[in-house]
Structure 1
Amino acid sequence: MNLLTRQRAIAVFVAFALAYFLSALIRAITATIAPSLVAEFQLRSADLGLLAGGYFLGFAAMQLPLGRWLDRHGPRKVELAFLGAALAACIAFAKADGFQGLLLARILCGVGVCACLMAPLTGYRRWYAPEQLMRANSWMLMVGAFGMVASTLPVQWLLPAIGWRGIFLLLAALVAISMAVIAWQVPSWTNQRDSEAPSAKTNTGYGEVWRNPYFRSLAPLGFFNYGGLVAMQTLWAGPWMTKVASYTAAEAATGLFWLNVAMLLAYWVWGMANPWLARKGHAAEILIRRWTPLTFVLLAILIIATPAYPVGAAALFTLYCVATTVVALAQPAVGMAFRSELAGRALSAYNLVIFAGVFAVQWGIGLLLDAFKAAGLAEPAAYQSAFGVYGLACVLAYLVACRAKAP
Structure 2
Amino acid sequence: MPLVTAGIVSLVLAYMLSQFYRAFLAVMSPVLQDQLGATPGDLALSSGLWFIAFALMQIPVGQALDRYGPRRTCALMLALGGGGGATVFALATAPWHLHVALTLLGIGCAPVLMASYYILAREYPASAFGTLAGAVVGFGSLGNILGAAPLVWVIEAIDWRPTLWLLVAITLGVALMIARTVRDPARLGDDQPKGSLREILALRALWFILPLLAVNYAAAGAIRGLWAAPWLDQVFSADPRTIGNATLAMGLAMVLGNFLVGPAARIIGSLRRTILLFTAATIAVMAAMWLVPQPSLGLAVTLLALVGVSGAAYPLLMAHGRSFLPPHLVGRGVTFLNMFSIGGVGAMQFASRPVYYAAEAAYPPAQAFSMLWLFFLIPLVVGFLFYFRTPEARPDARPDA
Q: What residue identity is the alignment partner of 1:169?
A: W
AA of the residue aligned to 2:322: G
Deviates more, 1:153-162 or 1:10-19: 10-19
Amino acid at match of 2:369: Y
Residues in 2 aligned to 1:227 and 1:354: alpha-carbon distance in whole angstroms: 8
Q: CA deviation at 1:78?
A: 0.7
Q: Is 1:26 matched up with 2:25?
A: no
Alignment match of 1:93 (pick from 71, 89, 92): 89
Post-superposition offset of 1:273? 4.8
- Alignment partner of 1:243 out of 216, 228, 234: 234
Q: What residue is the counterpart of 1:126 in the other structure?
A: 122
**Residue 327 of structure 1: CA displacement?**
4.5
Shift of 1:316: 1.1
The CA deviation at 1:44 is: 3.0
Shift of 1:208: 1.5
CA shift digits 1:78-122 (9 cap, x unpaired): 101111221111111111221222111110100001011001100
- The equivalences for 1:368-407 within 5 A come to 368-374=355-361, 376-405=362-391, 406=393
Shift of residue 63 of structure 1? 0.6
How far apart are the structure 1 equivalents of 2:286 and 2:328? 39
Q: Per the alignment, do residues 290 and 160 of structure 1 end up closer, same or farther by CA in structure 2, a change over 3 Å counting?
A: closer
Number of equivalenced pairs: 392
Question: C-alpha deviations, 1:371-396, integer Å up to 9, x for none?
Answer: 1223x211221111121122112111
Q: Secondary structure at the match of 2:228?
A: helix
Alignment-mate amino acid for residue 231 of structure 1: A
Give the structure-2-normalised TM-score.
0.92
Q: How does 1:51-62 map to 2 (within 5 A)?
A: 51-62=46-57
1:167 — aligned with what? 163
- Tell whether the 8 Å contact from 1:70 to 1:119 is kept in structure 2 after alignment: yes
Provide the rounded CA distance (Å) in 2 between the counterparts of 1:259 and 1:200.
48
How much has 1:10 moved relative to structure 2?
A: 3.0
1:139 aligns with 2:135: yes
Among the aligned pairs, what percent are the same residue?
26
1:157 pairs with 2:160: no
Q: Structure 1's 289 and 272: CA in aligned 2 closer, same or farther, altered over 3 A?
A: closer
Match of 1:82 in 2: 77
**Mapped contact 2:71–2:184 kept (Cα < 8 A):** yes
CA spacing shift, 1:188–1:310, aligned 2, 3 Å? closer
Q: Is the 8 A contact 1:217 1:401 kept in 2?
A: yes
Structure 1 residue runs of 5 or longer lacking an equivalent are: none
Residue 227 of structure 1 aligns with an amino acid whose one-letter code is A
User: Could you tell me whether the CA contact under 8 Å between 1:244 and 1:310 is conserved in 2?
Assistant: no
Shift of 1:320: 2.1
SS at match of 2:207: helix
* Partner SS state of residue 111, structure 2: coil
Equivalent in the alignment of 1:297: 284
- For residues 291 and 16 of structure 2, the distance between their equivalents in structure 1, rounded to whole angstroms, comes to 34
Q: Deviations over 1:41-99 (max 9, x none)?
A: 22333212101111112111101111111112111111011112211111111112212
What is the CA distance between 1:202 and its match in structure 2? 4.3
> C-alpha displacement at 1:180, in angstroms?
2.3
Q: Secondary structure at the match of 1:330?
A: helix
| Aligned-partner Cα distance in 2 for 1:45–1:142 | 28
**1-side partners of 2:257 and 2:277: how far apart?**
17
Q: Map 1:242-391; keep pairs closer than 5 Å.
A: 242-274=233-265, 276-277=266-267, 282-374=269-361, 376-391=362-377
SS state of the match for residue 136, structure 2?
A: helix
In structure 2, stretches of 5+ residues that fail to align are: 395-401
Amino acid at match of 2:231: W
CA 1:217–1:130 in 2, change beyond 3 Å: closer, same or farther? same
Give the counterpart letter for 2:11 in structure 1: F
Q: C-alpha separation between the residues in 1 aligned to 2:281 and 2:184?
A: 43
Mapped partners of 1:60, 1:82: distance in 2: 14
Please give the secondary structure, in 2, of the residue aligned with 1:319: helix
Inter-CA distance 268–288: structure 2 relative to 1 (3 Å threshold): closer
Output the CA distance in 1 between the equivalents of 2:103 and 2:191.
Answer: 31
1:188 to 184, 208, 212: 184
Q: How far did residue 204 of structure 1 move? A: 4.7
TM-score by length of 1: 0.91
User: 2:284 & 2:256 partners in 1: Cα distance?
Assistant: 22
CA contact (8 A) 1:46 1:363 kept: no
Counterpart AA for 1:155: L
The separation in 1 between residues aligned to 2:160 and 2:193, in whole angstroms, is 45
RMSD, aligned CA: 2.0
Find out whether 1:116 has 2:103 as its counterpart. no
Distance across 2 between alignment mates of 1:16 and 1:308: 40
C-alpha contact 1:227 1:356 (8 A) present in aligned 2: no
